[in-house]
Amino acid sequence: MSGSIDIREHMPIVDGFPRPVWNSIAAVTNEDWIAVGRLWLEETARHLGAPYTVSETGNFFLLSPLNARKTGLLQGFVEKAWKQIGIKLAGLGESDPLGKGVVMLFESHDSYYEYSAHFYSEGEHPLSSGVFLNAEYGHTAIPFHDFSETEATLAHELTHCFLRSLPLPLWLNEGLAVTMEDELCGNRPLRMDSQRIAEHRNFWNADTIQDFWSGQSFGNVNEGLDLSYELGRYCVRALTHDIPAFIEFARTASFEDAGEAAALAVYQGSLGGVIEQFFGPGDWSPRRDP
């Protein structure tokens, strides 16, 4: 970039926010991308007005409407969470990502949805407490809740950020994110009691399990959404009994077949066998398209 362009010339206001036209921004080096990220966040803060500010840590930019003390607390959590995710998921993240990570914290759900709606197709979508937007300059957007919920959401979305370079099936990506959310924050205990297992058994069958493998059930606006996240976490727990094997599986798993080929290669068995551990024999394996 070397001062040859001004990112503001390539950042029109679209759907109420500055939206960089990334393919017209000549960022090449790591330093370029850091400079672009900084200008983007600063322009967004100016557009939003007080009390929004931009701060910077070793690995992240943070757009925040909070006061300096509260923003500092979140800065510390983001860096700590990023380090722990890197340790626990070593071997799965990008080795040398360009630029710094970006976290956009909004003061209300309304402003968060106004920002994030730009990235979704028209139609009904599940409510969310945060999102990692893996497009161009990937970034996390969340509304501020209380600190414990905000930290849990950050742990979840930063896991998606860490895994962004892998073509993971959605069930595996979300299963890892909820696992890390609980390990870092302890806010989402895994319920394995008989009542909850019964709820799963009543919902999952040979047809609905295909929605899980394809990722479609994670977009349900009614029933099945919570069960999908929980089942993803069950599967991650079952597969991580052998960590080196799991890392090999996750590095080669593809959304195109829900990770079935990787499971056959690494575990010498179908993913249907994982589901069978919980719900008994059945037609549980991912189906291949004809």
Q: Which fold has domain 7-165?
A: Glutaredoxin (3.40.30)
Which of 115-124, 183-192, 275-284 is modeled with the greatest confidence?
275-284
Q: What is the mean pLDDT of residues 233-247?
A: 95
Q: What are phi and psi of 35, to 5 degrees?
A: -65, -40
- Dmax over CA atoms of the chain, in Å, equals 63
- Of 24-28, 57-61, 85-89, 105-109, least confident by mean pLDDT is 24-28
From first CA to last CA, the distance across the chain in angstroms is: 48
Write the secondary structure of the chain as one string of H (helix), E (strand) and C (coil): CCCCCCHHHHCCEECCEECCCHHHCCCCCHHHHHHHHHHHHHHHHHHHCCCCEEEECCCEEEEECCCHHHHHHHHHHHHHHHHHHHHHCCCCCCCCCCCCEEEEEECCHHHHHHHHHHHCCCCCCCCCCCEEECCCCCEEEEECCCHHHHHHHHHHHHHHHHCCCCCCCHHHHHHHHHHHHHHHHCCCCCCCCHHHHHHHHHHCCCCHHHHHHHCHHHHCCCCCHHHHHHHHHHHHHHHCCCHHHHHHHHHHCCCCCCCHHHHHHHHCCCCHHHHHHHHCCCCCCCCCCC
Q: What is the mean pLDDT of residues 6-21?
A: 85
Residue 25 binned pLDDT confidence (cut-offs 50, 70, 90): confident
Residue-wise pLDDT tens digits, 77-97: 999 999 999 999 999 987 667
> Has residue 64 got a pLDDT over 90?
yes
Q: Where in the chain is the domain with CATH 3.40.30.160?
A: 7-165
